[in-house]
Structure 1
Amino acid sequence: MNVLWDIAAFIVAISILVTVHEFGHFWVARRLGVKVVRFSIGFGRPLFTWRGKDQVEYMVAALPFGGYVKMVDEREGDVPEAIRDRAFNRQPVTHRMAIVAAGPVANFLLAILLYAGMFMIGVQGIRPYVGPVSAGSAAAAAGVHERDLILSVNGIPVQTWEQARLTLLAQGISHANLMLKVRTLAGDIETRDIPTSGLGLLQHGDKVLQLIGLSVWRPSMPVIMKVMPGGAAASAGLESGDKVLEMNGKPVVSTSAWIASIQKHPGDRMSLIVERKDHRVTVSMTPWPKLIDGRARGFIDAQIGGILPQSVRTLLQTEVRYGPLQAFAQGARKTWEMTVLTLRVMGKLVVGQASVRNLSGPVTIAEYAGITAAIGLSAFLGFLAVVSLSLGVLNLLPVPVLDGGHLLYQTIELLRGRPLSEHAELIGQKIGLILLGVLMTLAFYNDISRLLT
């Protein structure tokens, strides 16, 4: 069922993005007087066709992985004398460049609109309170502590962990240092200087927090989900639903920390206070030792979960929401920041400084489409915006067969005063197809690797 949901969300997303991209070409071509013959969403066998009053054939085809706008062009066949001056190839080079560039531009404009819609609806997030800092990490060396609240990164304000992650990555791959402004637990505003050299952000950008040494502060109360018969938890009298409040007279502030404490103290008696059906109960428990990799570890033979106390939930939860004008301004800013980040990563990929594992194919995109659609409209709009601007950037790359390749040819024509020969264009298209094939192969390989792991 999840697969069908992912596929449906993916088809909806791609259909929207392709329609807007092709409409950009279509609209500018019509405005510049070029005769448009067909507007198609998808490739392959037509599913629906109709002819508009403008005599353009509109079509929805079976394969929703692209689309095209077919214009009258003497290079593709005979053109009647009556409309020859409206052929694409007869237009001034600047007009042809405008038509080609209109598709990617439409994707960038759509990204701004989508981000604006996302910000007007409101983006739910978690305030960037720092969790346990890894010992020996760059963050620890810079003096970052648990419960610090990140206010800005290199002067860029952040309100949620999602913003913080993206800003840390974007600033980390383009600057030698990350200047974190934080509010400490004592309420002081201080700056932490984290060097980025040697962190490997370009190779493992999806693990930016771990590479820096940060984690999300999410203290949870341990809850006994299930007690196994004959184990330490059962012998101590623990029951399903017990909430662990204290251990040896000290409050338990984290599920993970409590589990770690159990594992570190095999055979040591622990005095616990648990909440059971609105009553406090004192329990004495001794974790049983088991050898793991030659070392004794403590186990209690119980399934342990965690819940966030309401006070912590209220502290952490936040919503980023703007009015219409500010939402569009933030949408334009977000589109610019994400576009620059995408270009920087692509540039590092070309020179071998970034891992090709940053590439994602249709399988990963479909998965994220399904996840964000399930979360809600705001998340899905944000996903569409990212893919839309990525599509715009990809199509502007100077690779023949892409819009950027056509713009490259037309720029050369503008400078030389005459177009390249058909032979030169054909060679360029073959090279472009090979490069595109390699790119898609790597993306598919990454998709399959992620599924297998």
Structure 2
Amino acid sequence: MNTFLSIIVIFGLLVFIHELGHLIFAKRAGILCREFAIGFGPKIFSFKKAETVYTIRLLPLGGFVRMAGEDPEMITIKPGYEIGLLFNRAGKVDKLIINNKSKHSDCKVIQVEKIDLEKDLFVTGYVADEEGLVTYAIDEKAEYVHDEVPMQIAPLDRQFGSKTKLQRALALFAGPMMNFVLAIVILTFYAWFAGMPVDEALVGDLTDDGVAIQSGLESGDRIVSIEGQQVATWEEMTSIIQSSPNEPLLFEIQRDGERFEVSMTPQERVGPDEQVQGVVGIFPMTEKNVLGAVAFGFTQTYEFTMLIFEALGMLVTGQFTLDHLAGPVGIYSYTDEVAAMGFLVLMQWTAILSVNLGIINLLPLPALDGGRLLFIGVEAVRGKPIDPQKEGLVHFIGFALLMLLMLVVTWNDINKFFL
């Protein structure tokens, strides 16, 4: 249950921050954002603030910001339709009643002859008890009302496609960018809570079963030399220890101004590079430093980014296969292991997932932010936009292929973890 809650909180945070980036930059560009959603499927909870409906949906597998102009309008009004009109104090139409006009006894029913809801904002038609065609101006924030549900119209200057290439690119790039920002913030707080390692040969914590604690070393001891070789930094000290597994070493220790010698034999341990290393069971001394924590947030985010790009490169060259990828089931299993290691490790894991989400979304693949950015780049090169229908088809096919890949990866996860 704790793992399930951790997954919900982590994914909710990652998706929220990602979509918040899209929302902020889209609104700054003047794009009408109809909906900000966390999850897919049926709505569980929703509320409206200003022009945007904020929703939480049943399936917590992603999210979206529905920007006007990205998809065809769900409601179209054609010549011959009868609709109801309600007016604001300025005399402009502020509500277009599509159906259930009988519930709005004060509305003026018009048989539409011509209507423009994007550029000139007017409706022309025939009204009972009035001779000839009549024309009414429509307010730029007017709403459709269909089945008693209002939805704001989207004039051309409020649509995604009407904005400059830079504004559209920023609105798309802002989502992945916010994932990198989130990783930096998380890792900065991690470094502050955990403390920054001091680059001196000072003993911090000790493992309960290490040779250091068995030899009487204590937190705060300074290692002056090993086998007569002076050591001033943590790196100098650990390089000697790691290169001497199962070899007795004479350590000169300084404690409270006094020096003494201790003999220790580093134990064997297989390192990340599959090489045998020596360890004595000590950790570096740490300190809390705001600037150091911020620097750690940036540098660690950069290192995670490089590692993920390296893994993607290995996937392209065939060194990794689909079996190495993890889907929702795999991530759930890994999160279960990480959560058992404590909150600080879970923070690091969240930062890694955030960087991963940012990078994946920037890949130039259809249906992803990177794929849509690629289309804007092509538009900039050729001097005119690509046919929206063709672009939409490419994104649809890309989305279908991504869903297929997700199913394959999830099946692999199930085989690895449950069968």
TM-score w.r.t. structure 1 length? 0.58
The alignment's C-alpha RMSD in Å is 3.5
Amino acid of the structure 2 residue aligned with 1:116: T
The structural deviation recorded for 1:113 is 0.5
Instruction: Give the direction of change, closer, same or farther, for the CA distance of 1:396–1:180 in structure 2 (3 Å limit).
Output: farther
Deviations 1:242-292 (A, max 9, x none): xxxxxxxxxxxxxxxxxxxxxxxxxxxxxxxxxxxxxxxxxxxxxxxxxxx
Instruction: Give the direction of change, closer, same or farther, for the CA distance of 1:216–1:395 in structure 2 (3 Å limit).
Output: farther
Q: Is 1:119 aligned to 2:181, yes or no?
A: no
Gap runs ≥5 in structure 1: 132-146, 149-155, 161-178, 189-207, 218-311
Aligned match of 1:95: 167
Q: Is 1:31 aligned to 2:28, yes or no?
A: yes
Structure 2 residue corresponding to 1:379, chosen from 340, 345, 351: 345
Structure 1 residue corresponding to 2:377, chosen from 411, 420, 425: 411
For residues 294 and 381 of structure 2, the distance between their equivalents in structure 1, rounded to whole angstroms, comes to 37
Amino acid of the structure 2 residue aligned with 1:213: Q
Amino acid of the structure 2 residue aligned with 1:437: M
Aligned match of 2:65: 69
The structural deviation recorded for 1:127 is 8.6
Amino acid of the structure 1 residue aligned with 2:31: V
For residues 319 and 447 of structure 1, the distance between their equivalents in structure 2, rounded to whole angstroms, comes to 39
Aligned match of 2:179: 107
8 Å CA contact 2:187, 2:347 repeated in 1: yes
Matched ranges for 1:24-423 at <5 A: 24-52=21-49, 54-73=50-69, 75-77=71-73, 80=118, 81=121, 82=140, 83-122=155-194, 182=242, 184=244, 186=249, 209=271, 212-214=274-276, 217=279, 315-318=281-284, 322-423=288-389
For residues 159 and 355 of structure 1, the distance between their equivalents in structure 2, rounded to whole angstroms, comes to 39
Deviations 1:387-441 (A, max 9, x none): 0000001100111111111011111011111112235324422442344134313
Count of equivalent residues: 293
Aligned match of 2:135: none
Amino acid of the structure 2 residue aligned with 1:316: I
Deviations 1:182-231 (A, max 9, x none): 5646479xxxxxxxxxxxxxxxxxxx9476333674xxxxxxxxxxxxxx
8 Å CA contact 1:159, 1:320 repeated in 2: no
The structural deviation recorded for 1:358 is 2.5
Deviates more, 1:16-25 or 1:5-14: 5-14
Structure 2 residue corresponding to 1:17, chosen from 4, 14, 28: 14
Higher helix content, 1 or 2: 1
Instruction: Give the direction of change, closer, same or farther, for the CA distance of 1:366–1:111 in structure 2 (3 Å limit).
Output: same
8 Å CA contact 1:117, 1:378 repeated in 2: no
Amino acid of the structure 2 residue aligned with 1:59: T
8 Å CA contact 1:127, 1:159 repeated in 2: no
Instruction: Give the direction of change, closer, same or farther, for the CA distance of 1:404–1:127 in structure 2 (3 Å limit).
Output: farther
Amino acid of the structure 1 residue aligned with 2:312: M
Instruction: Give the direction of change, closer, same or farther, for the CA distance of 1:15–1:180 in structure 2 (3 Å limit).
Output: farther
Instruction: Give the direction of change, closer, same or farther, for the CA distance of 1:362–1:216 in structure 2 (3 Å limit).
Output: farther
Higher relative contact order (Cα pairs below 8 Å, separated by 6+ residues): 1
Gap runs ≥5 in structure 2: 77-116, 122-139, 141-154, 198-203, 211-225, 228-233, 252-269
The structural deviation recorded for 1:85 is 0.7
Instruction: Give the direction of change, closer, same or farther, for the CA distance of 1:94–1:8 in structure 2 (3 Å limit).
Output: same
The structural deviation recorded for 1:352 is 1.1
Instruction: Give the direction of change, closer, same or farther, for the CA distance of 1:423–1:36 in structure 2 (3 Å limit).
Output: closer
8 Å CA contact 2:242, 2:277 repeated in 1: no
Instruction: Give the direction of change, closer, same or farther, for the CA distance of 1:75–1:432 in structure 2 (3 Å limit).
Output: closer
For residues 8 and 441 of structure 1, the distance between their equivalents in structure 2, rounded to whole angstroms, comes to 23
Amino acid of the structure 1 residue aligned with 2:276: L
User: Of the two, which has the highest radius of gyration?
Assistant: 2
Amino acid of the structure 2 residue aligned with 1:15: G
For residues 168 and 187 of structure 2, the distance between their equivalents in structure 1, rounded to whole angstroms, comes to 30
SS at 1:60 equivalent: strand
For residues 29 and 334 of structure 2, the distance between their equivalents in structure 1, rounded to whole angstroms, comes to 38
8 Å CA contact 1:35, 1:87 repeated in 2: yes
Aligned match of 2:215: none
Higher strand content, 1 or 2: 2
Q: Percent identity?
A: 32
Matched ranges for 1:431-442 at <5 A: 431-442=397-408
Instruction: Give the direction of change, closer, same or farther, for the CA distance of 1:180–1:98 in structure 2 (3 Å limit).
Output: farther
For residues 187 and 31 of structure 1, the distance between their equivalents in structure 2, rounded to whole angstroms, comes to 65
For residues 371 and 12 of structure 2, the distance between their equivalents in structure 1, rounded to whole angstroms, comes to 23
Deviations 1:289-317 (A, max 9, x none): xxxxxxxxxxxxxxxxxxxxxxx6xx434
